[in-house]
């Protein structure tokens, strides 16, 4: 086993950690950085619970080596709200009861944010396909799609 020193910016703050070269970014974020809002549902890129942004693009952190994150910027669910102010997606997820168990919620929020940044006025179909990489087993996606629609509307007002 050989180690690797990773210097990153996480949710805007500089952060350094050392890890074995084969460690995934998901494991590092959870076990070394302490950001357990990033969830592991499968470890193979099929459920999206570990979604984060890496230099602004949406990825599954289980499919990224921590070593790859060296010199790059990471965004996680822990960085979504601005102090006391929740992100509109966070607000709408609560308001629309778009979560039941909530384990998939961090991943959905990150994916939905990535979608709305690219496409502020997505159709229902566009929302459904953009979120297809995030599995939810509780809600049947109904209230999640509605929450994203409501957040999009809210964000367009600004």
Interface positions, 121-150, toward other proteins (CB under 8 A): 124-125, 127-146
111, 130 Cβ separation under 8 angstroms: yes
Q: How far is the CB of 107 from other proteins (least distance, A)?
A: 9
With CB under 8 A as the rule, give the number of residues binding other proteins. 83
Q: How far is the CB of 13 from other proteins (least distance, A)?
A: 15
Q: Does 116 bind other proteins (CB under 8 A)?
A: no
Q: What is the dihedral of CA 37, 41, 44, 49, to 10 degrees?
A: -40
CA gap 100, 126 in Å, rounded = 23
Q: Does 4 bind other proteins (CB under 8 A)?
A: yes
Bridge pairing between strands 3-10 and 13-20: antiparallel
Site for other proteins in 47-106 (CB under 8 A): 47-49, 51, 54, 57-60, 62-65, 67-68, 76-78, 80-81, 86, 89-90, 93-97, 99-106
103, 135 Cβ separation under 8 angstroms: no
Residue closer to other proteins by CB (options 9, 98) is: 98
CA gap 133, 73 in Å, rounded = 22
CA gap 135, 41 in Å, rounded = 9
Residue closer to other proteins by CB (options 56, 156) is: 56
CA gap 82, 150 in Å, rounded = 19
Site for other proteins in 12-51 (CB under 8 A): 20-22, 24, 27, 30, 35-49, 51
Residue closer to other proteins by CB (options 8, 39) is: 39
Residue closer to other proteins by CB (options 1, 14) is: 1
């Amino acid at each position: 086993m050989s180690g690797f020193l990773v210097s990153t910016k996480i949710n805007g703050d500089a952060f350094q950690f050392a890890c074995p070269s084969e460690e995934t970014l998901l494991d590092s974020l959870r076990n070394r950085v302490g950001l357990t809002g990033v969830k592991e549902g499968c470890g193979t890129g099929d459920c999206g619970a570990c979604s984060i942004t890496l230099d602004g693009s949406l990825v599954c952190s289980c499919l990224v080596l921590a070593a790859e994150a060296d010199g790059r910027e990471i965004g996680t669910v822990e960085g979504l709200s601005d102090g006391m102010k929740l992100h509109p997606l966070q607000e709408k997820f609560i308001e629309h009861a778009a979560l039941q168990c909530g384990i998939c919620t961090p991943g959905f929020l990150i994916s939905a944010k990535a979608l709305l940044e690219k496409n502020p006025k997505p159709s229902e179909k566009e929302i459904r396909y953009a979120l297809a990489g995030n599995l939810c087993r509780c809600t049947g996606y109904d209230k999640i799609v509605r929450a994203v629609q409501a957040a999009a509307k809210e964000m367009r007002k600004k």
